[in-house]
Amino acid sequence: METETRTEIIEATNRALCEHGYAGLTMKRIAAESSMTTAAIHYHFDTKEELLNAFLDDLIERFEQKLDCDASDPRERLNSFLDAVFSPPEPDTEGFPVAIMELKAQSPYHTLFRERFLDLDEVMREVVTDIVKDGIEAGHFEETDPAEVARLVTTVSNGAHARTVALGEQAEETRQVLEHTLELHLGWTPGSEVIA
Amino acid sequence: METETRTEIIEATNRALCEHGYAGLTMKRIAAESSMTTAAIHYHFDTKEELLNAFLDDLIERFEQKLDCDASDPRERLNSFLDAVFSPPEPDTEGFPVAIMELKAQSPYHTLFRERFLDLDEVMREVVTDIVKDGIEAGHFEETDPAEVARLVTTVSNGAHARTVALGEQAEETRQVLEHTLELHLGWTPGSEVIA
């Protein structure tokens, strides 16, 4: 499949999913969001599950790009990570966190979704583990268990996502609580300016 | 409505929801889980939304009972709270966390669900806030912001729930991380034995 075709189908899936939700997602509605016919989409993706698997794969890739930070200072990298994770969704993608929540709820019934969410979790935890390790080595952070801090950050971000959807709460509220807790772990306040 | 009838309908809703999920929940399936006809259930609850609202209300009430702890020592009350929140679901209710996740994903479209999840969140945060306040006053915990600790605990438990459903992870893993973090906030290790 050409990259352009794949991108077009995945973007159409994203729009259809945000608008109609998982239960209302059909090949017809995905086609309506693209310049392609349902037959053409079916040619590339046999099932809705395969299509959503590609959508989640693409999501993880974009998330990794968003986390790809030029800074070398682990404190700046941590700030960038928190920006990426806790930035509010763009106004046109309000349905997006809801759609992801629906896919998570489908995860026990779809091995492919489960695998993608495990991949995403691993990416997040690895990035934070590396940042904390590097920060300790550079003497910016106090001695602590990097893998445990990574698990805390990832779980809190999972919680923030659930709160956004279920309670309509801004992720910013959770970010503040997390930053204060990270201060206790790291001896450095995330969100504060980094002076080299 | 008599309490018995209400209880029977809510328990049938719980079973039907755990088995068929939110999308597959119909009055017919709820009736099949009870001794009542769909007409009789409709007589008490006009819509699926009203029925699920009663189901969530009942859930909150049972959760409050579960949290009702005889102990007076705030450290014991904290341990009981963590037991209640992080105890794995009974084998016959594996579908339960998934069903709750689905209802959370429906929350943006159903004011009643949103209100119930906000109620549940308030209950959890109030209980933890009180425990932390009392523990500081009694000299068991270090000075800290009780409301912020409560928000952290509640958000981490939201995250643990999402991880159980999306990743198939045991909540116990999250509990350990939370306990280590609470140690930093409180100067006391939750889960450790309380010696009066």
Name the DSSP class of A7.
H
| Mean pLDDT of all residues in A117-138 | 97
A122 vs B: CB within 8 A: no
Architecture field, domain A60-186: Orthogonal Bundle (1.10)
Better pLDDT: A65 or A124 = A124
Domain boundaries defined on chain B: 1-46, 61-186
Confidence band for A192, pLDDT divided at 50, 70 and 90: confident
Q: Are B180 and A148 in contact (CB under 8 A)?
A: yes
Cβ contacts of residue B102 below 8 Å, gap of 6+? A102, A105, B21, B22, B23
| Mean pLDDT of all residues in A154-174 | 95
Q: Which residues of A touch B144 (CB under 8 A)?
A: none
Instruction: Tell me the CA distances in angstroms from B77 to A61, B6, B122, B128, B134, one per residue in order.
Output: 44, 31, 17, 9, 10
Confidence band for A89, pLDDT divided at 50, 70 and 90: low
Q: How many CB atoms lie within 10 A of CB A73?
A: 17
**Gap from B50 CA to chain A (nearest CA, Å):** 17
Confidence band for A55, pLDDT divided at 50, 70 and 90: very high
Interface predicted TM-score of the whole assembly (ipTM), two decimals: 0.93
B143 vs A: CB within 8 A: no
**CA separation for the pair B175, B65 (Å, rounded):** 21
pLDDT higher than threshold 90 for residue A1: no
Q: With CA atoms as reference, report the closest residue to B31 among B43, B137, B134, A119.
A: B43
Interface of A with B in 82-111 (CB under 8 A): 98, 101-102, 104-105, 107-108
Q: Are A171 and A164 in contact (CB under 8 A)?
A: yes
Q: Which residues of A touch B168 (CB under 8 A)?
A: 107-108, 114
Instruction: Tell me the CA distances in angstroms from B192 to B17, B76, B186, one per residue in order.
Output: 37, 9, 13
Amino acid at B34: S
Q: A57-72, pLDDT tens digit by residue?
A: 999 998 888 888 778 8
Q: Give me the total of CB pairs closer than 8 Å, taking one residue from chain A and one from chain B.
A: 117
Query: Can you list the residues of chain B whose pLDDT is less than 50?
Result: none
Say what the pTM is.
Answer: 0.94
Superfamily in which the A1-46 domain is placed by CATH: Homeodomain-like (1.10.10.60)
**Whole-number pLDDT of residue A122:** 97
Q: With CA atoms as reference, report the closest residue to A135 among A152, A117, A149, A121.
A: A149
Beta carbons of A151 and B177 less than 8 Å apart: yes
**Whole-number pLDDT of residue A161:** 96
Q: Are B141 and B188 in contact (CB under 8 A)?
A: yes
Confidence band for A34, pLDDT divided at 50, 70 and 90: very high
Cβ contacts of residue B186 below 8 Å, gap of 6+? B132, B135, B140, B141, B142, B144, B149
Alpha carbon distance, N-terminus to C-terminus of chain A: 47
- Phi, psi for A145 (deg, rounded to 5): -90, 105
CATH number of B61-186: 1.10.357.10
> For residue B148, what are its two tokens?
């912020």
**CA separation for the pair A183, A188 (Å, rounded):** 5
Q: What dihedral angle (degrees, nearest 10) is formed by the CA atoms of A158, A163, A166, A168?
A: -140
Q: Are A95 and A154 in contact (CB under 8 A)?
A: no
Interface of A with B in 23-52 (CB under 8 A): 23
